[in-house]
Structure 1
Amino acid sequence: MFDNDYFTEEELSCRCCGKLHFSNDTMRRLIRVRVRFNKPMVVTSGYRCPAHCAKIGSTMTHTTGQAVDVSVAGGRAYELLGIAIEEGFTGIGVKQHGPHGGRFLHLDDLEPIQGERTRPTVWSY
């Protein structure tokens, strides 16, 4: 799964415990996005163990191994968002305010939970 030129196990692993659980389908989708984007994509958060999510007060989407946060701002964020939707990411969180270093897109390819609104879903932080 990690034999690629774009992402390392270290950047996709949990920041608190080093555990790595990542979906092969999500990884393939992420690589397709990176190839089309044709620019470096810095993953600021990949897998998060449940304890880490609880500690930072985050939802559990990153515990599935199907979510990443990518540092990106401005026009590049707009471009990346479009490619991510075309490649099948169904959950996209957008944080594009504040200092440029803190701006990012959350990308996930989770299926809707029964009774949940239809995906794709885009939200802002």
Structure 2
Amino acid sequence: MLYPHYSEIPESVWRWPDFSPQEPNLACPCCGEFYLNVAAMDALQAVRDEIKRPIRINSGHRCALHNARVGGAPLSQHKLIAFDLSLAGHDRLALRDACKRAGFTGFGYYRTFLHVDPGRRRFWYGRGARQLWNG
């Protein structure tokens, strides 16, 4: 469900204890628009529960304007829901494996973050990241 601003999400629907709608970069950083996908948030919470460490989200939902401004793909899952998870403080392979077990199906492998989303099953590598992830 799309909310024009994260402040409009009813407290009664928020059930993810390690995240909040005000979380930096979970909502669109330019306007606060928030796309609430319950299954994706359940999966994100499952990852957090499994790895037992905080997860920093570099980028979550993006409105169409912000997605264009940052050079996002026109059909980017970020326009619905996707998460770019910082690798700082994490074993990248353990984080990836936890995301797979949680049900994420779209994976982008980068040097400093892992992109995950609930879209179609696919994967790709960012510039210079293939050796890091497969090395």
When the two structures are superposed, what TM-score results if normalisation uses the length of structure 2?
0.75
Which residue of structure 2 aligns with residue 57 of structure 1? 71
Which residue of structure 2 aligns with residue 116 of structure 1? none
Among 102, 105, 115, the residue aligned to 2:114:
105
Runs of 4+ in 1 over 6 A off after TM superposition: none
Aligned-partner Cα distance in 2 for 1:72–1:83:
13
Aligned-partner Cα distance in 1 for 2:100–2:59:
19
Taking structure 1 as reference, are residues 18 and 38 closer, same or farther at Cα in structure 2, changes over 3 Å only?
same
Structure 1 contact 33–84 (Cα < 8 Å) conserved: yes
Give the match's secondary structure for 1:17: coil
Aligned-partner Cα distance in 1 for 2:15–2:100:
24
CA drift of 1:124 comes to 1.2
Q: Does 1:86 align with 2:101?
A: yes
Structure 2 contact 99–116 (Cα < 8 Å) conserved: yes
Structure 1 contact 44–68 (Cα < 8 Å) conserved: yes
Answer 1 or 2: higher relative contact order, Cα 8 Å, separation at least 6.
1
Provide structure 1 residue ranges, at least 5 long, that are not aligned to the other structure: 97-102, 113-118
**Number of residue pairs aligned between Structure 1 and Structure 2:** 110
Which residue of structure 2 aligns with residue 17 of structure 1? 31
Provide structure 2 residue ranges, at least 5 long, that are not aligned to the other structure: 1-12, 127-135
Letter paired with 1:49: C
Structure 1 contact 45–70 (Cα < 8 Å) conserved: yes
CA drift of 1:2 comes to 3.0
When the two structures are superposed, what TM-score results if normalisation uses the length of structure 1?
0.80
- Per-residue CA deviations over 1:87-118 (Å, capped at 9, x if unaligned) read 2110111112xxxxxx11111011x3xxxxxx
Structure 1 contact 22–47 (Cα < 8 Å) conserved: no
Letter paired with 2:106: G
Aligned-partner Cα distance in 2 for 1:84–1:75:
13
Q: CA RMSD in A?
A: 1.6
